[in-house]
Amino acid sequence: MDIYDIVQTLPANLEANALARFDDLETQGRLYYGAPQHRVVKHDSFTAGNPQLDKDSPARSQPGGPFANPDPAFVVAQNVGPSHYLTLNKYCVQRPMYLLPTINYKPQTEGLDATDLAAAWALIKAFDTPHMVFCNCGVEAGSSQGHKHLQVLPIQRPEGFKFFTDDAGISYNAPMTLPNAPHKHFIISLPHDPSLALLQNKFTQLMEMTYSALEGLSTTLSYNLIIIREWMMVAPRTHRDRDGIATNALGTIGMMCVKDDEEMQGCIRLGMTEPLKYLGMPASSQPV
């Protein structure tokens, strides 16, 4: 099934209906959303405060958890292609946030395949407003569950905030590392309406760079992936947290979520850009 076929099988008015479902579940107290207070800091940032399974939990390597028997009230698309479904996230910092798990159990440490990329791009095409898809692949990348899943959320930028990728002149022909970020990452631009084969090719190029960056390190393969309409990016990861402060894929583009001011002050104390070098890799050198 190609991307076009997946889009055609998605429910009509998916975004509007999902948002109405989100609001209804929040009203019932079954979904938790607190409108965030935005603070723009002139540094690259990172994400913290997500509930996570313990790094060595057996639940990471066996079926079970919240994706095995999803609550039907939260499921907004029973099939996104042959292998995935779309459900609302129960704990949200944006309105709404989605989870895109595999229907059958696969480990989150397993690399993304064609069905993952096809489902991700089908949703990007199907939503009326710009959305991003991201994946925390591996324990060190900030994965919260052992069941393979991607996450989807609308692109919302508070006043004064820009991705470091904005206006960066991203290459289409080969992956590159942008000079204005402190951490190693590989990014490549995408055409307006890519085929699945092209998405696979771009992802393979990014992963080859990631494998090379992590070669010889005593760490399991972990990385963060982000896809938006304009580009695809992979950031290699070497550590799950620093002094209890963790990040997932959103942190690699400067989107930080903290639960309170104390956690925010902890981020500032660590130096803002320094954790990204430690949690991943410095842009131009080996891990710290």
Q: Can you give the residue ranges of every domain in the chain?
A: 3-279
Pick from 144, 58, 35: nearest CA to 99: 144
pLDDT for 275: 78
pLDDT for 271: 64
Strands (E), the chain: 32-33, 75-77, 86-88, 91-92, 98-101, 131-137, 149-154, 186-189, 223-227, 231-236, 241-242, 245-246
CB 196 within 8 A of CB 117: yes
pTM: 0.87
Looking at domain 3-279, which CATH architecture does it have? 2-Layer Sandwich (3.30)
How do the pLDDT tens digits run along the chain, 288 residues long? 799 999 999 999 999 999 999 999 999 999 988 765 555 555 543 333 333 334 443 433 445 567 888 999 999 999 999 999 999 999 888 899 999 999 999 998 888 999 999 999 999 999 999 999 999 998 889 887 889 999 999 998 777 677 888 888 899 999 999 988 889 999 999 999 999 999 999 999 999 999 999 988 867 789 999 999 999 999 999 998 877 777 788 888 877 666 667 766 766 776 667 778 888 999 876 555
pLDDT for 218: 67
Q: Tell me the torsion sign for CA atoms 50, 158, 227, 172.
A: negative
pLDDT for 60: 37
